[in-house]
Amino acid sequence: MATTETKVACSSSVAGLSWARVCKECGQQHDGLESHLYEYQDDVDDELVCHICLQPLLRPMDTPCGHTYCFHCLSNFLKEQDFCPVDRQRLQLHQCRPSSLLVRNLLDKLTVMCPHSAECQQQMQRCELQPHLHNRCPVFRRLREEAEKRKRPSWNELKGRKGEGESSGEAKHSVTQSRNPTRDQPEPGLINPAYEESEEDNTPLRSSLVAEANVVELFREEPEEELGLRIVGGKDTPLGNIVIQEIVRDSLAARDGRLAPGDHILEVNDVSLASVPHARAMAVLRQPSLLRLTVMQEKGFKSRDPRPDHHPSSSTASLPTHSPHGNTTSNHNPGTVLQVTLMKSQRTEPLGIKLIRKSEESGVFILDLLSGGLAAKDGKLRNNDKVLAINGHDLRHGTPESAAQIIQASEVRVNFVVMRPAESQEEGGSSREGNGRTARRPEPQYFKRQSTYMKDPPGGFSSQEKTVSLKKEPRLSLGITIAGGRDCRSRLPVYITSVQPVGCLHRDGTIKKGDILLSINGVDLTQLTYNEAVSVLKAQTAQSQVVLRVIQTLSEESEEDMEFANKDELDPLEDPRDDALNWTPLWTRWLGLPSHMHWCRDIVLQKTNNESWGFSIVGGYEESHGQQPFFIKTIVPGTPANFDGRLKCGDEIVAVNGATTVGMNNSSLIPMLKLQKNKVTLTVVSWPGSLV
């Protein structure tokens, strides 16, 4: 047995912790390039320890020569070397395979202590730490709530007063792009409250809303690696296009830094996604190895008096606030742009800079300058400077990993362009980060509740109930695994992630993976948390008679797709990585759920009179499609919806200021949105996008 050294990062005290710096998986503070840290409570067997980091294995990978390493450790090692660290046999990462389920289960069962032991002394299995942090740990919950308060200032506070000569009106949707010109044509049912002209506004209009078609290449180092994209849309949905809903933090796409929520994926490896259903698009995106994505990216409103890019003409300049995708918004609390050149004595000399990302703002920031390092001796860079570019590479929305790669690849000269925040105004001695942000009180929009807005699902989607009655031995398991629960992030109902071949439900054949649980022996399961559902299922399964009610969602397009697919091919509805622990339903599976099973939340947006709300929606009544729900299709960078950060592409708007949108058409919803001059409350239902 090996006594494993426990690495602790500020776990003994809550002081010094921040939501931006704490890891959302292990709860410790560590650099994004480092492995997760756990406080193990027992000695760990040598066979479960990585030979590189000498810690218990994380995402274990087996080599052909019989050794096992953490995936993170091995991939970093093989970037520099081409042999096994133990026996030095020739080795490449693609030759390695994930360890067996038995090994992964043994590792998941290792006992760890909550990292915030000063206030939370709970012990649990390693696999249960992340759910514990997000659902039960009081310290983690407090950090998240404090970050949300800072992250969501009112629009008036964030934007400030406009300059006299600034453009502030609404604008028509005029898109400039390099390919796919058919996107210039208006789509049926597309409503753009973001782009409607203000009839009562005499201020000059912004000239256009700019979008660009770009090509992004992503390479999977192993076939099973996730890109870290959550996807919504498809030909079979009201959205039509395939849209990125979310970028998963620390994923391949996040490290690359070029994709963003709201990007429309037009092509994958020269295969057009313009007229394919959602399941087909997911199958294309799950191709192994290299993916070449052609995406349409909104850049925000273009000013009539365009400002220069972030490269200043002199060593210092005033810079307006940048919003995602590089658009320039109104000049609120501008910082100072500096050009700094560091000269290394040799190519491999480190600069002595620690870089981080912040949860409340995109981009790369300087956390610390190491004492005695090159940057500290130079003295021009400071803590909290935002890195805009290094050697000409735009990093306004980059990652610390991409910045480190640019620095490592540079020669002796490293050119930085950074923005230094303006000094905070005197406001009770508050810090710059809190200035103008802490004044906003928590509002009810953070609360999620069961929806009372009754409506039909989108066309082509439906559901059916199934009931199974079984007589069984009291000790015999049903043989299912579940996920979801009303305490999870998306407030999902409890659903089945796998039906094991050893259980009695598998022999019956009625219950399938993805079915949503309604009740067992008459006990309602639809509004329970995950732990509550597990307790009820265990108690009721102990009886000799079990009556299980589930609901299955259906899609006409998916059924046609199945008939077209070759029988030997993978089911396009399912993730080929059939792991019950990680399986999640496609976004389209949720669309057919009856509305009484939806949970909704209120999102309050605020703006000035002359501003756009900043989102486009599709749906409403159409003669060709009948009544369709209203979905968020686009969120424009640099607008209230974008800065608020809670609306997502694919969200369904069920009410505006408490008035239901059911039965509305375009001509009735547009005036309702335009009449709200400074504040609007949107009630939305949000389903997690399909993970790829």
SS (H, E, C) 292-323: EEEEEEEEEEECCCCCCCCCCCCCEEEECCEC
Strand partners, 70: 60
Which residue matches tokens 């609390």?
A: 333
Q: What integer pLDDT is reported at residue 50 of this predicted model?
A: 92
Amino acid type, 99: S
Q: What integer pLDDT is reported at residue 165 of this predicted model?
A: 36
Q: What integer pLDDT is reported at residue 23 of this predicted model?
A: 83
Going from the C-alpha of 47 to that of each of 50, 67, 253, the distances in angstroms are 8, 10, 33
pLDDT at 196 over 70: no
C-alpha 671/C-alpha 200 separation (Å) is 13
Which residues lie below 8 Å from residue 318, measured CB to CB, with a gap of 6+? 331, 334, 335, 336, 337
pLDDT at 244 over 90: yes
Confidence of residue 333 (pLDDT cuts 50, 70, 90): very low
Strand partners, 461: 555
Closest among 491, 582, 577 to 108, alpha carbons compared: 582
Task: Quickly count: other Cβ atoms within 10 Å of residue 648's Cβ.
Answer: 22
Amino acid type, 215: V
pLDDT at 423 over 60: no
Strand partners, 212: 297
Question: Across 162-176, 360-374, 643-657, which has the greatest mean pLDDT?
Answer: 643-657
pLDDT at 517 over 90: yes
Q: What integer pLDDT is reported at residue 360 of this predicted model?
A: 62
Q: What integer pLDDT is reported at residue 441 of this predicted model?
A: 34
C-alpha 232/C-alpha 246 separation (Å) is 9
Fill in the DSSP letter of residue 230: E
Question: Phi-psi category of 263—alpha, beta or left, where left has phi over 0 and alpha has psi -120 to 50?
Answer: beta
Q: What integer pLDDT is reported at residue 652 of this predicted model?
A: 92
Task: Quickly count: other Cβ atoms within 10 Å of residue 586's Cβ.
Answer: 27
The kind and range of the H/E element at 619 are strand 615-622
Query: Mean per-residue pLDDT for 139-154?
Result: 70
Query: Mean per-residue pLDDT for 2-12?
Result: 41
pLDDT at 20 over 60: yes
Q: What integer pLDDT is reported at residue 453 of this predicted model?
A: 73
Which residues lie below 8 Å from residue 225, measured CB to CB, with a gap of 6+? 252
Token reading at 570? 């993978």
C-alpha 94/C-alpha 152 separation (Å) is 43
Token reading at 579? 């792991």
Q: What integer pLDDT is reported at residue 486 of this predicted model?
A: 82
Q: What integer pLDDT is reported at residue 208 of this predicted model?
A: 52
Contact 377, 354 (CB under 8 A): no
C-alpha 413/C-alpha 160 separation (Å) is 39
C-alpha 361/C-alpha 354 separation (Å) is 17
Better-scored residue on pLDDT, 220 or 565 = 220
Contact 366, 372 (CB under 8 A): no
Confidence of residue 231 (pLDDT cuts 50, 70, 90): very high
Q: What integer pLDDT is reported at residue 15 of this predicted model?
A: 55
pLDDT at 11 over 90: no
Contact 282, 687 (CB under 8 A): no
The kind and range of the H/E element at 142 are helix 138-151
Which residue matches tokens 């000695």?
A: 43
Token reading at 343? 């000269």
Q: What integer pLDDT is reported at residue 65 of this predicted model?
A: 92
Fill in the DSSP letter of residue 162: P
pLDDT at 519 over 90: yes
Instruction: Give per-residue pLDDT as tens, 30-88.
Output: 776 678 889 999 888 888 999 898 999 998 989 999 999 998 888 888 888 899 999 99
Lowest mean pLDDT among 79-93, 369-383, 442-456, 592-606: 442-456
Confidence of residue 243 (pLDDT cuts 50, 70, 90): very high
Confidence of residue 141 (pLDDT cuts 50, 70, 90): confident
pLDDT at 321 over 60: no
- Calculate the CA 241 to chain-centre distance: 19
Token reading at 405? 């790669």
Closest among 348, 405, 350 to 374, alpha carbons compared: 350
Q: What integer pLDDT is reported at residue 301 of this predicted model?
A: 58
C-alpha 120/C-alpha 607 separation (Å) is 41
Instruction: Give per-residue pLDDT as tens, 366-420.
Output: 988 888 889 998 889 998 888 988 988 878 777 888 888 888 888 888 989 888 8
Q: What integer pLDDT is reported at residue 170 of this predicted model?
A: 36
Strand partners, 485: 492
Better-scored residue on pLDDT, 197 or 457 = 457
pLDDT at 447 over 60: no
Contact 213, 271 (CB under 8 A): no
Confidence of residue 169 (pLDDT cuts 50, 70, 90): very low
pLDDT at 320 over 70: no
Amino acid type, 205: L
Q: DSSP states of 474-493 as a string? A: TT----EEEEEETTSTT-EE
Q: What integer pLDDT is reported at residue 427 of this predicted model?
A: 33
pLDDT at 566 over 70: no
Token reading at 293? 């994505």
What three-state secondary structure class fits 204?
coil
What three-state secondary structure class fits 338?
strand
Query: Mean per-residue pLDDT for 269-289?
Result: 86
What three-state secondary structure class fits 682?
strand
Which residues lie below 8 Å from residue 65, measured CB to CB, with a gap of 6+? 84, 86, 87, 89, 91
C-alpha 435/C-alpha 429 separation (Å) is 9
Token reading at 511? 């219950």
C-alpha 440/C-alpha 554 separation (Å) is 43
Instruction: Give per-residue pLDDT as tens, 91-104.
Output: 988 888 888 888 88
- Calculate the CA 532 to chain-centre distance: 27
C-alpha 620/C-alpha 535 separation (Å) is 42
Which residues lie below 8 Å from residue 86, measured CB to CB, with a gap of 6+? 51, 65, 67
Closest among 474, 481, 610 to 539, alpha carbons compared: 474
Share of residues in the chain with pLDDT > 70 (%) = 73
Q: What integer pLDDT is reported at residue 230 of this predicted model?
A: 93
Task: Quickly count: other Cβ atoms within 10 Å of residue 155's Cβ.
Answer: 22
C-alpha 7/C-alpha 115 separation (Å) is 10
C-alpha 332/C-alpha 436 separation (Å) is 11
Amino acid type, 177: Q
Fill in the DSSP letter of residue 234: -
What three-state secondary structure class fits 683?
strand
pLDDT at 135 over 90: no
Mean pLDDT of the chain: 75
C-alpha 508/C-alpha 541 separation (Å) is 16
Query: Mean per-residue pLDDT for 616-638?
Result: 79
Contact 589, 553 (CB under 8 A): yes
